[in-house]
Every structure is written in C-alpha cells, then in structure tokens.
Amino acid sequence: MDRAALLALSRLCALWAALLALFPCGAQGNWMWLGIASFGVPEKLGCANLPLNSRQKELCKRKPYLLPSISEGARLGIQECRSQFRYERWNCLVAAAAPPDTSPLFGYELSSGTKETAFIYAVMAAGLVHSVTRSCSAGNMTECSCDTTLQNGGSASEGWHWGGCSDDVQYGMWFSRKFLDFPIRNTTGKDSKVLSAMNLHNNEAGRQAVAKLMSLDCRCHGVSGSCAVKTCWKTMSSFEKIGRLLKDKYENSVQISDKIKKKMHRREKDQRKIPIHKDDLLYINKSPNYCVEDKKLGIPGTQGRECNRTSEGADGCNLLCCGRGYNTHVVRHVERCECKFIWCCYVRCRRCESMTDVHTCK
Ligand SMILES: *[C@@H]1O[C@H](CO)[C@@H](O)[C@H](O)[C@H]1NC(C)=O
Ligand SMILES: *[C@@H]1O[C@H](CO)[C@@H](O)[C@H](O)[C@H]1NC(C)=O
Ligand SMILES: *[C@@H]1O[C@H](CO)[C@@H](O)[C@H](O)[C@H]1NC(C)=O
C-alpha cells in the first residue's frame, strides 16, 4: 500500500474510534461498513482489515468476491443520499464528524432514530441490492445470474417472449438482509431495541423499493422494425429513480411509538388502526431543525450554505437560512466565448467575463 493510502486508512481509523465513543449504542456494528466506500479497492485489504462487524467479516470471508459490490453499494447509497438532499437543511453530510469528500459518515443521524436515520438505512440497503444484482446480471458471480424463470415463455398472442437477461433481485435482497440485518436479540436496552426494530424495517423498505420499481424493457424484431415480435426482460430502475421513491417515502414517513410491544405501531393514538406497510419509512424521534451548528451532535448548521434568492423551495434563502438572512458575493467567471473556426485549422476565442451573485446563509 502506498503512503497516501496508509495515511487515509489511519485517518479513517481515528474517525471510527471517535465515532464509536460518541455513539456507544447497539446499532454501531451496523454502519461501519459504509466506510468501505472510502477504500479504492477493498479487496486488496482483505476482510479482516475492513471496517466490518464480526458477522459481516464472517460473510466477507466466505464470499470475498462480493467485496466490489459491497463497496459499490455503499458508494451508490451515499451518493444518492447526498444528491436527493443537496438542497435541504440536512444535506446528508455531517461536517463535524466527516470532512466532506474524504469520509462519508453520517454521525448523529445513524442513531438518532429520526426520518433522516430512516432514509440512510433504506437507501444503503437498497444500494446493496442494486449493486449485487448488477453484478449477478453481468455474469460476475457463480451463485446468481439472470432470472432464469423468465427465460422461456411469454405471450405469443401478444407478440412477445422473454429473452435477454432479466435482473434477478432475489439474490441481491437475500445478501442485503444477510449483510445488514443485525438481529434484535443482540441489542441491549429498551431504546436500542426499538431503534433496531425501526432500522430493520427501514432496511427492508429500501429493498422493497428496488423490487417495486422493476420495469419491463423490450426490443422489437420483425421486418424493417415492424415490431411483430418483441423480446422482453425485467430490469431494475436507475438508482436515481429508487432514490426519488425513497425520498418520497421519507417525506411521508410514519412516526412510531417508542413503547415496546409485540408489534410496532403508530405514535398517534387516532391512527393506530392504520396498518404500517412494509415499504413505509418509520421513525421514532422528531428531527432537529438543522439550522444551527451543534458540535456535540455533529450538526453543521446551514451557515455558509449557498441558497437561491428567488426559490420558494427548500433551497430558497428564506427556508435554508432559517430566517437569518444571507450575504451576497459577486463571483467573476472567465470563460472562452465567441469562438470562431479559422480556416485551416484552429479556433480563436475571446475571453468573456461575467458576474453572478452568489448568496450564502448568515
Ligand atoms: C464484472 O467484472 C468485471 C471484471 O472484473 C468488472 O470490470 C465489472 O465492473 C464487473 N461488473 C459488475 C456490474 O459488477
Ligand atoms: C449475537 O448473540 C449471539 C448469542 O447471544 C452470539 O452468538 C452472536 O455472536 C451475536 N452476534 C453478533 C453479531 O454480535
Ligand atoms: C433559483 O430558483 C429559481 C426558481 O425556483 C429557478 O428558476 C432558478 O433556476 C434557480 N437558480 C439556481 C442558480 O439554481
């Protein structure tokens, strides 16, 4: 390993240690794996040296060929979380615990039991399903491949038949469960039991989102594109689409009671009769407003965030800056412009300057 990689590793280890001290709760073993996304080629380090809990290490040793997919799954989930929340007060980045760009940890949000915790767990579990399934379809795995149940048959009368490679999410879902679902019986304390039940539910909700958004792709055959015969296969949606569905679930997430009963139920007494669906996102605690910095919780606050002066939405200066107002800076852009092709053969451009206003929260 080169010096830079070693340095990055030792920094990361210090970060884990700091976080472990901050969040000594039962769920801790469950999120360390996200750090895998920070290692370029995790296979090189080997299962024992990766930030995994004992169960995950065991699984990793038995199936080391899955490491690239685990790493890709973490990367997908983290990237999608940041993308879905880029304009919100909570933007899926925790500055105090994780310097942006180097380490994708969520800190407080992993154990706060809020809607944000729910989203993180769901999107990460979904990311793992997506990347493992991709790898199966690519023929990279011996244990899984395309969905073989969809290789024959179809409907002759409707003019199509199954063909190509249908994504088989079953293996990906099985692996995501095996890798992430930390058994509740292993957690201690009332709070962490409810939190574990919530996390398990949200993991599954994430996986269900991948399964729900499976779609049908077809290709036409026949004389000059007449589409007399079609070959169709099932395919997973883009992860962006899955992220959007989960964001929607986040916005409509359900608050559950923190009392332990046989089953989880809604917190609102007059809504107890409404069933909880397996694809709902659940949370226990109300979220902080994320407006001001809280070093202890690792909440960076919105000071200094760029906002949009004319937007009425979450990215608007009014909402994003929590009513504190904003500063305006003029930013100068220099670019090549009015480029002309000169015969023969080069391009001559002018240098154009433009000024734009950039607003940042006070
Ligand atoms: C499949 O394996 C090849 C070669 O190892 C790799 O380049 C490719 O990214 C893998 N594809 C997926 C989807 O895992
Ligand atoms: C969970 O608890 C069981 C028995 O108490 C133990 O054997 C097992 O190693 C524990 N698993 C983890 C991941 O801590
Ligand atoms: C700001 O918001 C307005 C209204 O939503 C939108 O039209 C505009 O493109 C946004 N500007 C930037 C820089 O995102």
Decide if 224 is inside a domain. no
Instruction: Report how far ligand 1's centroid is from the alpha carbon of 309 (Å).
Output: 44
Same domain, 320 and 173: no
Structure tokens at 152: 């024959």
pLDDT band of 12, cuts 50, 70, 90? very low
Same domain, 82 and 139: yes
Q: Which residues pair with 151 in a beta bridge?
A: none
Distance CA 287, CA 335 (A): 43
Our mutation pick for probing the ligand 1 site, out of 135, 236, 239, counting the most ligand atoms within 8 A of Cβ, is 135
Same domain, 314 and 344: yes
Q: What are phi and psi of 200, to 5 degrees?
A: -60, -45
Same domain, 241 and 330: no
The owner of tokens 């407003």 is 289
Instruction: Report how far ligand 3's centroid is from the alpha carbon of 314 (Å).
Output: 11
- The answer, yes or no, to whether any atom of ligand 3 lies below 6 A from the CB of 308, is yes
DSSP state of 186: G
Task: Answer with the one of 301, 320, 338 that is the final residue of a domain.
Answer: 301
Instruction: Report how far ligand 3's centroid is from the alpha carbon of 89 (Å).
Output: 17
Decide if 319 is inside a domain. yes
Distance CA 349, CA 242 (A): 43
Residue range of the domain that includes 346: 305-361
Structure tokens at 71: 């790493």
CA distances from residue 158 to 13, 47, 225, 235 in whole angstroms, order as listed: 58, 50, 16, 20
Same domain, 207 and 339: no
Distance CA 267, CA 2 (A): 52
Same domain, 78 and 172: yes
- CATH number for position 312: 3.30.2460.20
Residues 6+ apart with CB under 8 A from 125: 176, 180, 202, 203, 204, 206, 207
Same domain, 287 and 310: no
DSSP state of 323: T
Instruction: Report how far ligand 2's centroid is from the alpha carbon of 183 (Å).
Output: 8
Residue 38: the pLDDT is: 67
CA distances from residue 57 to 40, 46, 49, 103 in whole angstroms, order as listed: 18, 10, 9, 21
Residue 39: the pLDDT is: 67
Task: Answer with the one of 301, 320, 341 that is the final residue of a domain.
Answer: 301
Q: List, for residues 186-199, the tens digit of each pLDDT value.
A: 666 666 788 889 99
Same domain, 209 and 352: no
Atom 9 of ligand 1 has which residue's CA nearest to it?
135
Q: List, for residues 77-107, the tens digit of each pLDDT value.
A: 989 999 999 999 998 874 434 444 444 356 6
Decide if 332 is inside a domain. yes
* Contact in structure between 5 and 166 (CB atoms under 8 Å): no
Same domain, 310 and 356: yes
Same domain, 296 and 325: no
Same domain, 105 and 77: yes
pTM: 0.82
What distance lies between CA 262 and its chain's CA centroid?
A: 30
Atom 14 of ligand 2 has which residue's CA nearest to it?
186
Q: How does the average pLDDT of the chain come out, rounded?
A: 82
Q: Which residues pair with 316 in a beta bridge?
A: 308
Decide if 41 is inside a domain. no
Q: Which residues pair with 307 in a beta bridge?
A: 359
Q: Which residues pair with 294 in a beta bridge?
A: 299
Rg of the chain, C-alpha, whole Å: 24
Which atom of ligand 2 is least distant from the CA of 183?
1
Q: List, for residues 154-183, the tens digit of each pLDDT value.
A: 777 778 888 888 999 999 999 999 999 877
